[in-house]
Amino acid sequence: MKILTLGAAGFIGSHLTHRLLREGHTVVAVDLTSEKVAEYLDHPSLTFLQQDIRCPEWNLDSLVRDADLVIDLIAYANPGLYLRIPLEVFRLNFTENLKIAESCVRHGKRLIQFSTCEVYGRTAASLPHAHLADPEDPIHATFSEDTSEYILGPVSKHRWIYSSAKQLLERVLHAYGLEQGFNYTIIRPFNFIGPKIDFLPQAKEDIPRVFSFFMDALLNGTTMKLVNGGVNRRCYTYIDDAVECTYRIVENRNGACDRQIFNIGSPYNEVSIRQMAETMRQIYAEKFRDDATPLPQIVSVPGEEFYGEGYDDSDRRIPDIAKARRLLGWEPKWSFPETLEATMRYYVTESRKNRVPSAVGNG
């Protein structure tokens, strides 16, 4: 197939681009920068276009018209941005992505739209007057694509603008499917991690995603900060598992993915943010530690101090992957410790490879 991939040089996009090329597809890749796909730029089946999709003059329609399949990964997916630039988060995640979807509608092209597990919001157990018999029962935190209710925070907690923008885009795609037979598949990722998740070290003004923040702290001996004590829980998914499931959606055998929504995640890899920090520090000490760099302290900080006013978060989210099992025959393989060690190894290797040698001799 000839596949148009938007956001092709991001974390997920770069790994997916590699898989698509390996499987023999022709890929037209669009992104702001090419660093994460630099090793593939000379591939004869890849055309890379450095482009900001917000530019009104770019040739979206002709690229969609010439493609057999469109994959849209474009998003602001960083909690620090949801609070700092909420309007731009909404514009990119809804308005600009809707233009892509509507071009696919016009030209009758199938669209794979990456959404987010943040559409689910918080669990019923997080509500102050829930009075659940067992708030710790995983059933309260397990989200299914077609049946789960959504619980988001109030408007003043504007962190939820990302979740709301993605949810609204999903609902519009669903409406186009109902009214015009538009063929789409929506993917809800559950906390993918792996090599290339973020650039390290981060610029001082950036607030990276949690793995990247902790990894930067380990490499540089700075503090590992736990927002509100790090009690919130997540299920982490290794990027190889995620790409395998995504590729089965690309194949779409017997049309099994037509107008479907899929959770992609590892339900058995649930840990708290505190557990993640402690496990990363332990793995680093055992496998990668440079004696010249001290192990960082782990401290708790208030959410609004770390992120800013308007912070809120989901307390827990576990993916129900029964649909992916049933329709795609997919099952995640990577355990949480394996996922962390493989991802950390990449950044330790990159850090040491790029380290400037000392100019001082040994005498």
- Catalytic residue set: 162
What is the Cα–Cα distance from 52 to 63, expressed in whole angstroms? Answer: 14
What is the Cα–Cα distance from 230 to 11, expressed in whole angstroms? Answer: 24
**Cβ–Cβ < 8 Å for 239, 15:** yes
User: In angstroms, how far is the first alpha carbon of the chain from the final one?
Assistant: 61
Using DSSP bridges, classify how beta strands 142-143 and 318-319 pair: parallel, antiparallel or unpaired.
parallel
Nearest CA to 242 out of 259, 262, 260 is that of 262
Helix axes 161-180, 97-107, angle to 10 degrees: 10
**Six token digits for residue 239:** 């990027």
Nearest CA to 329 out of 262, 240, 230, 235 is that of 262
Q: State the DSSP H helix or E strand holding residue 285, giving kind and residue range, or none if neither.
A: none
**Cβ–Cβ < 8 Å for 30, 98:** no
Paired strand residues for 68:
none
Q: What is the CA radius of gyration of the chain?
A: 21
Nearest CA to 263 out of 116, 64, 129, 159 is that of 116
Q: Which amino acid is at 362?
A: N
In three-state secondary structure terms, 195 is coil
Q: Which amino acid is at 224?
A: M
In three-state secondary structure terms, 332 is coil
Using DSSP bridges, classify how beta strands 270-272 and 233-235 pair: parallel, antiparallel or unpaired.
antiparallel
